[in-house]
Structure 1
Amino acid sequence: MGVLLVAGSVVVGARLLAAADDTVAVWAVRDERGAGTPVRDDDLVVERVRFTDAAAQERYFGADRPVPDDVVLVRAVGAGELLARTAVGPAAATPVLRVPIEVDPHRVPPDVGAGSVVDVWVSEGPGQPAVRPALSAVTVLAAPSYDDTFGVTGARQLVVAVDDDRAAAFERLLGGLQDPVVRVLQRS
């Protein structure tokens, strides 16, 4: 009886080990990134995943090859999310305007950086209530450190990716205010 239990345990253990070897390495995004963000090697980590079939596996980028050069995210992706082929597109096919925003460093979270997804709120002058979110869920393309931009104006610059229509509406809003105050809220 003891021999049968040991043999059964060996068979079950062998099956479990064989099942553990069914995983494949795929690329996942290290940190949250927004639409329009270029996909770079240092933005990615390898995750081991078990897919139920080959068709499901083909929907993601395998880590056995690099992600193609010159691609950007076409939608926001969360930290740790597997990089789906449908989440990227050629950089040239994703038209966005690079809109610079000047903001007081105390009105933007310090960890906002390239790839962060933010909302931009605008009010009329200091101490006034926010008018409304002027831009929602936009991707930060560049975020020079405060030290790199402080010398010129005392403000921090962010560059966000915005489509033509939203950029025009944002500029109209700013142009209609005497002393606009910009606040940046980071999505998580």
Structure 2
Amino acid sequence: MPRRTERGSIRIDPRLIIGVVLIVGSTVGVYTLVSGLDDATEVYTATETFTPGDRILESDLVVERVRFGAADVRYLEPDALTDGGLLVTSTIRQGELVPLGAVDEVDRAGLATVVVPSRGALPEGVVRGTVVDVWSARRLDRGDSAPPTVLVPEAEVAAVIDSGGMVDGDSRSVELLVPRERVAALLQALAAEDAIDLVPARPEADR
């Protein structure tokens, strides 16, 4: 008598399973290889033309993936855009990639950069972007000094410079963004070797 086959049983050819595994493995391998070769960088493109003085926000931009090769990326990337947006310093045409040199965090119009040497350790928390008051005490005869006064209110720190690669606080200088009408007074105080100190203008939490 012929052998009876149990109803509902399914026999799968092992060669079919092996074939499926090989196809899946090949697909995953190709995807991994292509992903590894994709060195494109996400950068912003302007959705309209912007001129100096405009403020651009994330909603004004679209992200595009661009392959720059070994060249340095000199265009605005998504992680470099602040919540408050950026100010346009030179014209950006619609559809153009946004150059880093065409945007800034602050309006530098009417500002000049002055490097102020630190007399001692800088106050804690004074970093790039900190707003400080520049206090000055005029040097008098016989080593005395006049009462200190605010020479430049609310100057912004553009950079903190370690002189000679040293880490000691006494060796640091601060690059300040100063209103042009206060530059002459600050330079005069520096030339006269007046005592100059930087004091944070407002608490970090208020910034």
TM-score by length of 1: 0.46
Query: Rg larger in 1 or in 2?
Result: 2
TM-score by length of 2: 0.42
Of structures 1 and 2, the one scoring higher in RCO (CA 8 A, sep 6+) is 1
